[in-house]
Amino acid sequence: MSRLLKIEFKKILTYKVFWILVGLYFVFLSSGILMAEFVINSMVDDMNTHLPIPLPHVTLYFFPWIWQNITFFATIRYVLIFPAIVIIILITNEFTFKTIRQNVINGMSKAEFLASKLLLIVLISLVMTILLTFGAFIIGISNTSGLTPAVIAEKSIFILGFFIAILTFQVFALFFGFLLRNTGLAIALFTLYVFIVEPIVYYFLKSPIVFKNTIYTYLPVNSVLRVSEYPAIPVLKKVMGLNLQDSISLTSCCIPLGYAVIMIVIVYWALVKKDL
């Protein structure tokens, strides 16, 4: 395992595109998290000009709700796309520059090559989860009074949801990269599917004109987004009586993980059957 990771580190250590995209991911993630409360409260102020009873301002970043809110904003498709593109580039570069062929010639099996990429995805997901946890902890402490360990730990299960979401989304990207093997084509088709094709299919299947079903909830990207489907805004419960999501469910986690396993099996089969 350590040998495979060392090989991957050598490939990305001096690869500027990797670090630029990772940097952009954290910039978009941080700015989105920091601006979310301001944007929502601006919308509340606009609504209050037309309401007889004004709605109170929203507070997002206090314990225990911060875990759910941070996870929600960190797993929207516009943020998850950055680490996914990183994975596509790393995979397709192996075929463009024939490094996969050289690795196999040097004694690495195809199974080990795939394992090295999966280990890298797991490591990236772990690092991002740790950083998100640390950031949420610092923000939560600065915005919460009367803290106790129980309050801090409550709803922290959403951090596991973030790990599952970012892990499986990167596996989806790995799937596109391995099967298409061309950087531009893989990125284009992946982003097309994530932002256009699946949303269109989702709304078509959800439409009343289609027979009543819940198939749309099992679409691949949607299954990732449904792990943490809604933010936690206590005022919505108090004022509007809405109860959108209290925790992540085992089912919501198993669906994207199931897709990930299927895609890994397909990729392995394609690696074994196709020439490098």
What is residue 2's predicted lDDT score, i.e. its pLDDT? 79
What is residue 175's predicted lDDT score, i.e. its pLDDT? 97
3-state per-residue secondary structure call for the chain: CHHHHHHHHHHHCCCHHHHHHHHHHHHHHHHHHHHHHHHHHHHHHHHHCCCCCCCCCCCCCCCCCHHHHHHHHHCCHHHHHHHHHHHHHHHHHHHHCCHHHHHHHCCCCHHHHHHHHHHHHHHHHHHHHHHHHHHHHHHHHHHCCCCCHHHHHCCCHHHHHHHHHHHHHHHHHHHHHHHHCCHHHHHHHHHHHHHHHHHHHHHHHHCCCCCCCCHHHHCHHHHHHCCCCCCCCHHHHHHHCCCCCCCCCHHHHHHHHHHHHHHHHHHHHHHHHCCC
What is residue 239's predicted lDDT score, i.e. its pLDDT? 54
What is residue 164's predicted lDDT score, i.e. its pLDDT? 96
What is residue 210's predicted lDDT score, i.e. its pLDDT? 56
Write out the chain's pLDDT in tens, 276 residues: 778 878 888 888 778 888 888 888 888 888 877 787 777 777 767 766 776 777 677 778 888 889 988 998 899 898 899 999 999 999 999 998 888 888 888 888 889 999 999 999 999 999 999 999 998 999 889 888 878 888 888 889 999 999 999 999 999 999 999 999 999 999 999 999 999 999 999 888 877 665 566 787 889 999 999 998 888 776 555 555 555 677 888 889 999 999 999 999 999 999 988 776
What is residue 208's predicted lDDT score, i.e. its pLDDT? 65
What is residue 80's predicted lDDT score, i.e. its pLDDT? 92
